[in-house]
Amino acid sequence: MRTARLFFVVPSLSLAFAFACGGGGSSSPDGGGSSSGAVGDDLGEAGVVPGDAAQAGDAPAGEASASDASAGAAAVQATITSNAACNTLPAFYWEIGDAHGALASGAVGTTYSATTAMNIASASKLVFGAYVVERFKSDLTQMDPSAMRMLSGYTSLNYDSCVLASSVQACLAAGQNGTHTPANDGRFYYDGGHFQNYAVASLGLGPDDDAKLAADIGSQVGTELGLAYSSPQLAAGIRTTPAAYAAFLRKILSGGLAIHDHLGENAVCTLPSACPTAVYSPSPLAWHYSYAHWVEDEPTTGDGAFSSPGAFGFYPWIDATKTYYGILARSVVGGGSYLESATCGRLLRKAFVTGTPQ
């Protein structure tokens, strides 16, 4: 018997209930180089606002009414119970909401909750993207678009070599992490080295240890988020809770962070088999990559969502309409955790916005 807990909250309604239901390329967590610790992270039909056209008494256009959110939450729970892409995951926390707050959330098992701290690996990338865009929002020509879309040729960073690094610079200097490969210039190669080199060479973050890095990133994305780093890696070093990351996603949705207006902008193709300018992608899907985040626009299963999956299975997203956010949170060291979470998370997104189990 698998235990699933569902917590359902909408602005005009607050209730919670619990019930049991039957369980019915080699890469590091930052996506760069080889690693002895974990496999590369990353990896998804939604974008449709639940419900019919607004009528008198309905929620504002683009927001879920209580009945819509209830139907969406039920569809999510049914999907978790019955779809093999989800019911084979032993434990995780999930949450879906809008700019105002969580609309529904729940957990499979008791391992994870909204307040469970975990290393989120490449889910850190979207935070870095938000930091850079916020810092240069008055003139984005000052931003390095090559580094931000993984086209800069710094493609040799090893995650494990930076876990105990004393600073951002020390991480870049370790091993071959700071190596520039000219053959990869202008070609998509998913690797944390792009961001690490950019942080040292151009952003002045080289001397930062974990605490100072958290303070500097927080100065742009919001100190109220309480983000922390467990290693000084821009692409993969954040340790946080689902609740804190959800607050970050809500801040984007509300327009409180400038990246809201630049999600998906100038995205590049990423899948080598379908893109002559791509060298390496950990995703088997033909997604695109924008400023430190994926665009899930693969022709068959894609819905245009913006996401930043992490190697250990932490999968955050914003839907293509920028109406909803979601998180599927867990921390599992092992190959394929990112893809498992992204696959289930995409189905939960579709279930919620359509009100139909997947």
For the cut 80, the answer to whether the pLDDT of residue 16 exceeds it is no
Percent of the chain with pLDDT over 90: 80
For the cut 60, the answer to whether the pLDDT of residue 276 exceeds it is yes
For the cut 70, the answer to whether the pLDDT of residue 36 exceeds it is no
The more confident residue out of 252 and 29 is 252
* pLDDT single digits (tens) 77-101: 999 999 999 999 999 999 999 999 9
Q: How many angstroms separate the CA atoms of 66 and 69, rounded?
A: 5
User: Tell me, what amino acid is at 178?
Assistant: G
Q: How far is CA 234 from CA 72, 245, 246, 275, in A?
A: 35, 16, 19, 26
Helices 66-82 & 337-354, crossing angle to 10 degrees?
Answer: 140
For the cut 60, the answer to whether the pLDDT of residue 1 exceeds it is no
User: Where does the pLDDT of residue 17 fall: very low under 50, low under 70, confident under 90, or very high at 90 and above?
Assistant: very low
318 forms beta bridges with 306, 325
341: three-class secondary structure by DSSP: helix
For the cut 90, the answer to whether the pLDDT of residue 2 exceeds it is no
In the structure encoding, which two tokens stand for residue 195, read together?
A: 């961001």
Q: How many angstroms separate the CA atoms of 99 and 235, rounded?
A: 25
The more confident residue out of 120 and 43 is 120
Percent of the chain with pLDDT over 70: 82
User: Tell me, what amino acid is at 205?
Assistant: L
| Average pLDDT value for the chain | 86
For the cut 80, the answer to whether the pLDDT of residue 121 exceeds it is yes
For the cut 70, the answer to whether the pLDDT of residue 76 exceeds it is yes
Q: Which of 270, 333, 36, 39 is nearest to 175 (CA)?
A: 36
Q: Backbone phi, then psi, for 74, in 5-degree steps?
A: -65, -40
What is the CATH topology of the domain spanning 2-354? Beta-lactamase (3.40.710)
The more confident residue out of 185 and 31 is 185
Q: How far is CA 164 from CA 16, 151, 173, 213, 232, in A?
A: 41, 27, 13, 14, 8
Q: How many angstroms separate the CA atoms of 358 and 302, rounded?
A: 15
- Res 56: pLDDT: 29
* pLDDT single digits (tens) 181-238: 999 999 999 999 999 999 999 999 999 999 999 999 999 999 999 999 999 999 999 9
Q: How many angstroms separate the CA atoms of 108 and 340, rounded?
A: 15
In the structure encoding, which two tokens stand for residue 106, read together?
A: 């729940």
pTM score of the predicted model: 0.85
Out of 58-67, 288-297, 306-315, pick the least confident.
58-67
- Res 335: pLDDT: 78
**Angle, alpha carbons 326-7-113 (nearest 5°):** 65
User: Tell me, what amino acid is at 108?
Assistant: V
